[in-house]
Structures are given as C-alpha cells and as structure tokens.
Amino acid sequence: MIIFGSPRRYLQGPGAIARLGEEIARIGKTAVLIADAHVLGLVSAPAAESCRTAGVTLSTITFGGEITHAEVERMASLCTRTPSEVVIAAGGGKTIDAAKFLSGKIGAKLATIPTVASNDSPTSHIIVVYDEHHKLVGVERLKANPDLVLVDTAIIAKAPAILLSAGIGDAIVKRFEVEQCVGVQGSNAFGGRSPQTALALARACYDTVRADSVAALAAVERGEPDQALERLVEASVLMSGLAFESGGLSVCHAMTRGLSAVPGPASALHGHQVAYGLLVQLVLEGRDAAFVEDIRGFFTEVELPLSLADLGFNGGPAEIATIAELTAQAPHMKHFARPVSAQDLVAAIEAVEAMASPTKDAAE
C-alpha cells in the first residue's frame, strides 16, 4: 500500500519566529530550546519573548555540535531537571537531528526552526547519527514527523550562501531518486509504496530549484529575503522533505555512505555530497550527454561540486574503491532500475571525473 507522511504544521516567512510562542502553545506549555551557541545568539531572545507572551515556559540547552549517542544522552540528563512537553530544535541539520533524537528519548513533541536551508531535515522523522569523527554510524526514526516546522526566511537570508548551495544540492536530487524508487516499486521511508503525490512534489521541487536558485543565492548575498528565496526555501525544506520520505531515495543518497568514509568528502556538506552523487547516478542511468551537460552547467552556476576534488578529495584509486564498495552496500542502492556493483560505481565515478578534467584544464 502507499504511505504518505508529513509534519503536522508548516509556517514560513520573514519574521516567522515571532509566531513561535502561539504555535508551541497549541501543543504544550513547557518547552526546551536546543541550539548551538551561535544560533542561541540569533534566536533565544525572540523565542523567549514570543513564548513568554504566549504563556509557554522555555528553557535552553546548548548543543555540543555533533549528533552522537553520547551528546543525546547528555542533553537527556539535563532535561530530567526541567521536564518539557516540547523540544524545539533551532539550527542546521545536526542540531535538528540531535533534537529529534532527544524528543523521542524523552517522549516530547517536536518543533523545528531551521536557521539555514542546507537540507530537508526539519520536516522529516529520519535521524542520521554520527560518531565524534563525523563518520555515519546509523539511522534512527521518530514515531512521527515534527509537530511544527517554523521557517523564518529573514534569518535564513543572512546565513552563508554555501549553506543554501548545499540545500539546492539536497533538493535537486530528489526528482531523480524518487523516479528510480517509483520505477522499481521500492519502499519509502515509511515502509510503504511511493504515492504519486511524492513524485509530483519531487518534480515540482526540481522545477523550482532550477527556476529560482540563482536569484535566491543573490538574495542571500544581499541578506534580504525575496520571492525567489521564499520559493527556493519552500522547495529545499518542505517539498524536498516530503518527496524523499514518501517517495524514496536511490544512488545519490547511497553515495553518502562511501563519501563520508574518506578524507575530504567526509567533511563536505551533505547537500554537496548528494549533488556529486547525482552526477554518478546520471552516468549509471545512461543519460545523454546534453542532459548531463545541462545539469553540470547548473551546478557551476550554484557552486555545486563537479568532481571529487571539489569535495576536498585528494586520494587515489584505493579511496575511490572504498567509496564504491560502501555505496554499493547502502540500502538505497536497491532502488535502481538494475543491480549496481562496486565495479559499476567505480566506472561511473571515473566517468564523472573525466568530464570534470577538461573544465579544470580550461580554468587553468
């Protein structure tokens, strides 16, 4: 059967954080705000004022910076001192995933406030867990998606452009992954088949990303939200999140298993990792040269990686073999039109690297 999941409520716009208190009051009277030290400086004052006005008691915990089992245990122990009905996650993907894990552990409801649009973690029930060295160690799942997603685009407009570029990368791949998953009748993140709604969202996400990314990046450079940024943020946070969870993933996200295991790419932003994965997937799909060049041209416009070197890679064949072997073992690889071996992946990576070489030669 088909299954579609989504957050309970989604709000987006400049100044949206002023609505936080009244929105939290719908689901609880006590809340704990989880954010790193930098983000607390951005949101703690308006969040506290909004919650005070709405009669919500708010406490704060400073996130340590890496989503590990130990960090979640530390925050959970702090929550025993001041029990909260709602966990509010403010920040990027790591903070949000850590707060998701925490909310499930203490049995609280969850609200997310992304301060960057670098990925679609704010809408999903998926939690990616790492170790202290940023190596992916597992994936956890909440029982449900967040109760509230609140996106203040005035805050996002002031974040570094490279983070929005990563969000573009994470969003653009969803069309191609969902199409593959639907094509093989694979399972989505809820264990069901992909509804046509998810496929439609993935394609609308792709169209929006292609139409609005350049202008949205310009808005971020100015530090002022505009309609292009509003549309792109909706695509990269909401459309992308709904599409991947209910539609399914494929090669692009499987590549994160391999890329996160080698020096250089392991430190790259998630959206840049999966964007490189799209180039590999397009080779595996046998897309024609004109289509691939169109995608590569767009990647150049929005500063997405065209090569492993763009992800910080300086290894050789042995490291490429490691990337391929770990990627081939990822569960998402079964969502592809044909079986793909580690050798197939090595060949596809080599093809992507060969395409990038003339570009680099010309630049030099």
For the chain of 364 residues, list the mean pLDDT of each consecutive stretch of 10: 97 98 98 97 96 98 93 94 94 94 96 97 92 77 96 97 98 98 97 97 98 98 98 98 98 96 95 98 98 98 98 98 98 97 98 83 47
Q: Which value, to the nearest 10 degrees, does the dihedral of the CA atoms of residues 179, 183, 188, 193 take?
A: 130
| pLDDT at site 130 | 81
Q: Give this prediction's pTM.
A: 0.94
The answer to whether residue 4 sits within a structural domain is no
The answer to whether residue 5 sits within a structural domain is no
Binding residues are 36, 93-97, 115-118, 120, 124, 130, 170, 253, 270
Binding residues for NAD(+) are 36, 93-97, 115-118, 124, 130
| pLDDT at site 133 | 73
Binding residues for glycerol are 120, 170, 253, 270
Asked if 150 and 178 sit in the same domain, the reply is no
Query: How many structural domains does the chain have?
Result: 2
C-alpha distances out from residue 91 to 19, 118, 157, 276, 330, Å: 17, 10, 14, 24, 28
Sequence-distant (6+) residues with CB within 8 A of 155 are: 17, 42, 43, 115
Rounded distance, CA 115 to CA 118, Å? 9
Question: Where is the domain boundary, 156, 173, 199?
Answer: 156
> What CATH number has the domain bearing residue 53?
3.40.50.1970
Residues spanned by the domain of 324: 161-355
| pLDDT at site 357 | 83
| pLDDT at site 362 | 46
Rounded distance, CA 288 to CA 137, Å? 36
| pLDDT at site 358 | 65
Asked if 80 and 215 sit in the same domain, the reply is no
Asked if 170 and 139 sit in the same domain, the reply is no
Render the burial of 164-196: b for 16+ CB within 10 Å, e for the rest: bbbbbbbbbbbbbbbbbbbeeebbbbbeebbbe
